[in-house]
């Protein structure tokens, strides 16, 4: 079993000018055997540092990292039974694909040449790069180099794969292809994987669970859908989802949330959930905003279309309330729908879809209801 556990892992860098910098602050997360965990966050949030600590490339300032129950804090990188894929691929330019992949086995095991060769061949077959085996990295395309980098990790047959933005250098189309392929590969090999990315789409689509970091602090570790629908706080709500969630500063007055541009009536049930907090932020995802023709409900408001970004399947519509210097917000509507700049429309913020956050702490006070999520029953 290769369960990877991070227990209050902290990394403090000492800088001559700025003193101590806490890059990773008491991060605790359990990664199950065979699980695919994406660590996601903005640049400088400590996600790469976390990965490098797992790899053994950075010392751990405090806390513990355990692999299969064994503390690996002080083990050198080579003894940890982890393999890493770097963003730059980090292939050895003077070695052929075969030599690149065999190097790790030559250095860390006393396998015979034939055994190494066989293992390399298996890995290249799996990745479909068996015809490139005698070429050097300089003669390969970005996508092919990426595969070799993956192959170099696979061939080691490690307990844990560590991937540091491995798809960042590929073009959009290839990235989407490799995303699927990586998922297949990971499922097939069943190796515990920690995958670092700044791209929330990658995190959403690939992982079993997402760990969201900001300023070195773990914000939430949950399944993609949980992070999306039930974010712990405003940071997670804003980071996950594209386009991002709309936020409005509101003040609670009785059973009404009063914003600069609108007032939002709360049902008794929702009001109860909010407790006695008054300084709040209302959040709603663009796709939950309904754009309708005429005003009929109590959560309907007048809106003016500002900018329309057609995406084919849907239109991203930037809107304003029908007041002077109003806040802008984003709604997504069907791609076939005809909607134009300057058009006056009615927008509806359905109550079951709203999120409410405590403005001071950022914590979620109320998340959207998941009752409406459809469940597809497997056909027996």
Partner 1 sequence: MSTSTRNPIESLRDMENSRIGLYVVLLFGIVFYLFPMETAVMTMFKTQTEFVETVPFAPPSPDGFTLGALMTAWNTLRPGLVNSMLMAIPATIFSAMAGSLAAYGLTTISWRGQVAVFSIVLAGIFIPYQAVLVPLAQFWYQILPDLMNGFVNTAFGFITGGNWTYPTRSGHVQLLQLSITHAAYGTPMCTLLFRSYYKGISDEMIEAARLDGATAFSIYKNIILPLSLPMFAVTLIYQFTQVYNDLLFALVLVNEPASQVATQRLAALTGGVVQSFNTTMAGAIVAALPTLLVYIFFGEQFAKGVAE
Verify binding: residue 169, partner 1, rule CB under 8 A: no
Nearer to partner 1, 127 or 148 (CB): 148
Work out which of 47, 98, 147, 152 binds partner 1, going by CB under 8 A: 152
State how far the alpha carbon of 19 is from the alpha carbons of 12, 16, 114, 364, in Å.
Answer: 10, 6, 53, 33
* 55 binds partner 1 per the rule CB under 8 A: yes
3-state DSSP call for residue 266?
Answer: coil
> With binding defined as CB under 8 A, does residue 4 bind partner 1?
no
Is 311 near partner 1 (CB under 8 A)?
no
Least distance between partner 1 and beta carbon 280 (Å)? 45
Binding string, residues 185-224; x marks residues near partner 1 by CB under 8 A: ----------------------------------------
Q: Least distance from C-beta 77 to partner 1, angstroms? A: 5
- From 185, 243, 216, 165, select the one nearest 49 (Cα to Cα): 216
Backbone angles phi, psi at 367, to 5 degrees: -105, 165
φ/ψ region of 254 (left if φ > 0, alpha if ψ in -120 to 50, else beta) reads left
Question: Among 6, 45, 82, 170, which residue sits at the site for partner 1 (rule: CB under 8 A)?
Answer: 82
59 binds partner 1 (CB under 8 A): no
Is 13 one of the binding residues for partner 1 (CB under 8 A)? no
With binding defined as CB under 8 A, does residue 57 bind partner 1?
A: yes
DSSP for 65-91 reads EEETTEE-TTS-GGGG-EEEE-TT---
Helical residues (DSSP H) of the chain, grouped into ranges: 47-55, 97-108, 113-127, 142-154, 172-189, 200-206, 224-229, 234-239, 268-274
Asked if residue 94 binds partner 1 (CB under 8 A), the reply is yes
Query: Segment near partner 1 (CB under 8 A), from 91-99, 138-146, 257-265, 323-331?
Result: 91-99
Confirm or reject binding of residue 280 to partner 1 (CB under 8 A): no
Q: CB of 137 within 8 A of CB of 148?
A: yes
Nearer to partner 1, 92 or 341 (CB): 92
What is the layout of strands, in order, in the sheet containing 355-358? 263-265, 256-258, 246-253, 279-284, 355-358, 364-366
What would the x/- binding string for partner 1 be over residues 109 to 148, using CB under 8 A? Answer: x---------------------------------------
In a 13 Å sphere around the CA of 359, the CA atoms on its Cβ side amount to: 13
Before 340, cis peptide (omega within 30)? no
Shortest spacing between CB 343 and partner 1, in angstroms: 51
From candidates 28, 88, 141, 323, binder to partner 1 by CB under 8 A: 88
To the nearest whole angstrom, how small is the minimum distance from the Cβ of residue 73 to partner 1?
Answer: 17
Q: Least distance to partner 1 from the beta carbon of 47, Å?
A: 16
Residue showing tokens 């990315």: 197
Here the tokens at position 317 are 């519509």
254 touching partner 1, by CB under 8 A = no
| Interface ranges with partner 1 (CB under 8 A) | 55-57, 76-78, 82-84, 86-88, 90-94, 103-104, 107-109, 152, 156
């Amino acid at each position: 079993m290769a369960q990877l556990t991070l227990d209050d892992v902290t990394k403090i860098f000492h800088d001559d000018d700025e003193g101590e910098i806490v890059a990773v602050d008491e991060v605790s997360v359990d990664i199950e055997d065979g699980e695919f965990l994406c660590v996601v966050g903005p640049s400088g949030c400590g996600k790469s540092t976390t990965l490098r600590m797992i790899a053994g490339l950075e010392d751990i300032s405090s806390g513990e990292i355990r692999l299969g129950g064994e503390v690996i804090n002080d083990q050198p990188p080579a003894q940890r039974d982890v393999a890493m894929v770097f963003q730059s691929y980090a292939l050895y330019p003077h070695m052929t694909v075969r030599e690149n992949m065999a190097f790790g086995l030559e250095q860390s095991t006393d396998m015979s040449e034939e055994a190494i060769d066989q293992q390399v061949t298996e890995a290249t077959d799996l990745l479909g790069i068996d015809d490139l085996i005698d070429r050097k990295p300089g003669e390969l395309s970005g996508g092919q180099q990426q595969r070799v980098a993956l192959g170099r990790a696979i061939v080691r047959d490690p307990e844990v794969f560590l991937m540091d933005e491995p798809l960042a250098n590929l073009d959009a189309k290839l990235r989407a292809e490799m995303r699927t392929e990586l998922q297949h590969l990971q499922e097939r090999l069943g190796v515990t994987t920690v995958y670092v990315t700044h791209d929330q789409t990658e995190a959403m689509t690939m992982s079993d669970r997402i760990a969201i970091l900001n300023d070195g602090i773990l914000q939430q570790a949950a399944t993609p859908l949980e992070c999306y629908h039930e974010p712990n706080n405003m940071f997670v709500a804003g980071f996950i989802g594209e386009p991002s969630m709309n936020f409005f500063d509101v003040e609670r007055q009785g059973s009404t949330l009063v914003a600069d541009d609108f007032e939002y009536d709360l049902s008794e049930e929702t009001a109860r959930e909010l407790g006695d907090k008054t300084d709040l932020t209302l959040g709603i995802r663009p796709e939950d905003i309904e754009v309708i023709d005429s005003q009929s409900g109590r959560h309907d408001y007048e809106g003016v279309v500002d900018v329309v970004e057609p995406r084919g399947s849907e239109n991203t519509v930037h809107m304003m309330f029908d007041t002077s210097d109003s806040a802008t917000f984003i709604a997504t509507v069907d791609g076939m729908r005809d909607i134009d700049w300057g058009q006056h429309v009615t927008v509806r913020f359905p109550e079951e879809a709203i999120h409410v956050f405590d403005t001071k702490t950022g914590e979620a006070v109320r998340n959207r209801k998941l009752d409406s999520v459809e469940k597809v029953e497997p056909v027996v």
